[in-house]
Copies of this chain bind each other. A is one copy, B any other.
């Protein structure tokens, strides 16, 4: 089976799912990643788990519902971890920003398949499901914006264009997009591993924020997520 199914319990999808739901979810992530949601059949998902096509409906009401649960729970996982990461990083915006970027990179580089599925396929969701996921995405971006704005107001950061909400929003969009994008371009056997990518992205994020850095070569050293 795939690497997705070998994750520790806290990383498994869906949140609070049964063992069989997690196996089906892991198979679905692999298939959605490789072939897209529209290119994946229920039969392929259940077949990867040694089950008949009809077995899916004992665990998820439809392929669309499975996609919704997966995308929602991937976003919820990031949002919850972000909340606790910020809470434990201490009060300094520099430490909070570094820790947050390390967390995002650990998801996008470390869980590349689920990250790509969540960020690419969420546009297939419709109605209230789509609104729900958009609200979580907005919350994630807002957490980053708050850190940037706090740092700007304290004089720790120096944002491009001014230390106001518009500049914090722009920097937040740039930094979160930069992290999300990792799942789009890193090759399967990309030579730079996740811990090194966390370091480099934390440096780039702090530079974007205009953080006060020593001799132009910042080396933010917060605990690795």
Contacts and interface: CB of A to CB of B under 8 A. Distances in A.
A196 B191 CA distance: 37
Interface residues of A, number: 27
Interface string A153-185: 000001011000011001101100110010001
A170 to B, nearest CB: 6
A170 B192 contact: yes
A96 to B, nearest CB: 19
A75 B108 CA distance: 27
Given A173-B185, A210-B216, A203 B160 contact: yes
Contacts of A158: 216-217
A203 B161 contact: yes
A45 B99 CA distance: 49
Contacts of A200: 160-161, 167, 170
A174 B170 contact: no
The complex is assembled from copies of this chain, and their number is 2
A208 interface: yes
A208 B208 CA distance: 6
B203 A212 contact: no
B170 A181 contact: no
A204 interface: yes
B196 A161 contact: yes
Interface of A: 158, 160-161, 166-167, 170-171, 173-174, 177-178, 181, 185, 191-192, 196, 199-201, 203-204, 207-208, 210, 212, 216-217
Given A158-B216, A177-B177, A181-B181, 9 more contacts: A160-B203, A160-B207, A161-B196, A166-B192, A167-B200, A174-B178, A174-B204, A204-B208, A208-B208
